[in-house]
Amino acid sequence: MPHRLLERLMKNTDPSSAGARAAVVTCAGWVGVVCNAVLVAAKLLVGLAAGSVSVVADAMNNLSDIASSLVSLLGFKLAARRADREHPFGHGRYEYIAALTVAVFVVVVGVELGRDSIARLIDPAPVTFTAAGLISLFLSMLLKAALALFYRGLAQKYNAAPLRASSADSVSDVVATGAVLIGAALSRFAGVNIDGWLGLAVGAFIVWSGIRLVRDALSPLLGEPPDPELVRRMAETIKSRPEIISMHDLIVHDYGPVRRFASAHVEISGALSAQEAHAVIDAVEREVLRQEGVHLLLHHDPVSTDAELGKVRARIQQCVKSVDERLTVHDVHIELSDGVTYYFDVAAPPECTVPADALKEKITRALEETSPDPVKTVIHIDRFYTTS
């Protein structure tokens, strides 16, 4: 893979190291600048010589890629800044902003290309390609394909959103140049001039690709579920301690690819002292930080080992499942001061669209139908913040 060549030249390529990550991605950005500069020069020569609006527009597309690479470089430089008083969680989200900027560049280029192509359709002009021009376009496709693989390999290893956007942009460029090459070949060998139509089609494709990139870049800024594989590994580490009965309410906050914080609730036997439970939680938090680089904060929920409470918990779980099989129960407590009051939380997945009040009503009704005595409930509806 092309990205392997760059990594061989680097002393440190550890994806979890912010310094190594910044160095590798910065080098990748400059590789993009140089490659796109070569493409701009070659395509401008071919396009101006042939009088082809689609080739010149393709050159302008590569010129915007240079700007995109520079934006990515700036984004990584800003993201690598240390946390300060105004930004205690660091500046990692600058990477996502850089990816969004690259995506907007792509949309603008597509719109401009479409506008120029419409002008060429209204006022067509002859185009003439040489064999050298056709070969240059074909070689530029190969270079862009290699650049796409280069970006994609690094984006996957280093979880770099701007490089992921640049990889998708490079794939779009391959398609765009391929369409231009087809038009150039038809013009040279068949005398058919579809330059304007091809330019319009390429512009539409670039706009469509750019809109997809905008959507993908916005997602982490708005807040998206963490990687299911990360959630699985964290859950395994947390539950690996025999003192921990279960885990719920896991929330992961993303402040950049290497800057994540998380919180969760763990149920631990109430027979353990506060000091013993604290020691267990401390050990788990340190282990998650060591393995995943995630700063974890655990909340301790003591669970009674009383047999009668266990029966009540099982009955509540059964009633909740009768309402919706996807619901889960945690934090069950019983108060007997004024009749019987059940306190518990119910976790509902995003696919469950029933309003919280309606869920509470259904669960309470199910409990009343299975209880010989009147009961009161205090139910809190949680929503899942992770996917599995």
Give residue 262's pLDDT band: very low, low, confident or very high (50, 70, 90). Answer: very high
Query: How many residues belong to the chain?
Result: 388
Query: Rounded to an integer, what distance in angstroms lies between the CA atom of residue 33 and that of residue 114?
Result: 25
Q: Is the pLDDT of residue 298 over 70?
A: yes
Task: Calculate what percentage of the chain has a pLDDT beyond 70.
Answer: 91
Query: Rounded to an integer, what distance in angstroms lies between the CA atom of residue 144 and that of residue 148?
Result: 6
Query: Rounded to an integer, what distance in angstroms lies between the CA atom of residue 181 and that of residue 100?
Result: 30
What one-character DSSP code corresponds to residue 273?
A: -
**In this predicted structure, what is the pLDDT of residue 77?**
82
What's the token pair of residue 4? 């392997």
Please give the sequence-ordered ranges of beta strands (E in DSSP) within the chain, or none if there are none: 244-254, 260-269, 294-303, 328-335, 341-348, 376-383
Coarse DSSP helix, strand, coil percentages of the chain, rounded to the nearest 5 percent: 65, 15, 25
Q: Is the pLDDT of residue 170 over 60?
A: yes
Task: Give the domains, in start order, of the chain with CATH numbers.
Answer: 2-222 (1.20.1510.10), 228-383 (3.30.70.1350)
What one-character DSSP code corresponds to residue 328?
A: E
**In this predicted structure, what is the pLDDT of residue 237?**
94
Give residue 4's pLDDT band: very low, low, confident or very high (50, 70, 90). Answer: low
**In this predicted structure, what is the pLDDT of residue 8?**
55
**In this predicted structure, what is the pLDDT of residue 10?**
54
Q: Does pTM surpass 0.95?
A: no
- Of 35-44, 57-66, 203-212, the poorest mean pLDDT is in 57-66
**In this predicted structure, what is the pLDDT of residue 232?**
92
Q: What is the pLDDT of residues 358-377, one digit of tens each?
A: 999 999 888 888 877 777 88
What's the token pair of residue 329? 């129960």
- Rounded mean pLDDT, 192-204: 77
Query: Rounded to an integer, what distance in angstroms lies between the CA atom of residue 113 and that of residue 57?
Result: 6
- Residue type at 287? E
Query: Rounded to an integer, what distance in angstroms lies between the CA atom of residue 323 and that of residue 333?
Result: 20
In contact, 43 and 61? CB cutoff 8 Å: no
Query: Rounded to an integer, what distance in angstroms lies between the CA atom of residue 380 and that of residue 382?
Result: 6
* β-strands 341-348, 328-335 pairing: antiparallel
More confident residue, 91 or 309: 91
In contact, 145 and 139? CB cutoff 8 Å: no
Query: Rounded to an integer, what distance in angstroms lies between the CA atom of residue 276 and that of residue 269?
Result: 11
Query: Rounded to an integer, what distance in angstroms lies between the CA atom of residue 224 and that of residue 110?
Result: 28
- Residue type at 104? V
Q: What is the pLDDT of residues 118-169, one digit of tens each?
A: 877 887 766 666 777 778 888 888 988 998 888 888 888 887 777 887 888 7
Q: Is the pLDDT of residue 293 over 90?
A: no
Q: What is the pLDDT of residues 310-354, one digit of tens each?
A: 788 888 888 889 988 888 888 888 877 777 788 889 988 888 888
Query: Rounded to an integer, what distance in angstroms lies between the CA atom of residue 86 and that of residue 89?
Result: 9
Q: How high does pLDDT run on average in the chain? A: 82
- Rounded mean pLDDT, 54-69: 77
The DSSP H or E segment spanning 164 is: helix 161-189
More confident residue, 235 or 23: 235
Query: Rounded to an integer, what distance in angstroms lies between the CA atom of residue 21 and that of residue 258?
Result: 9
Following CA atoms 174, 179, 180, 182 in sequence, which dihedral angle do they give, to the nearest 10 degrees?
A: 120
Listed in sequence order, the DSSP H helices in 11-130 are 18-50, 53-79, 94-122
Q: What is the pLDDT of residues 202-211, one digit of tens each?
A: 788 878 888 8
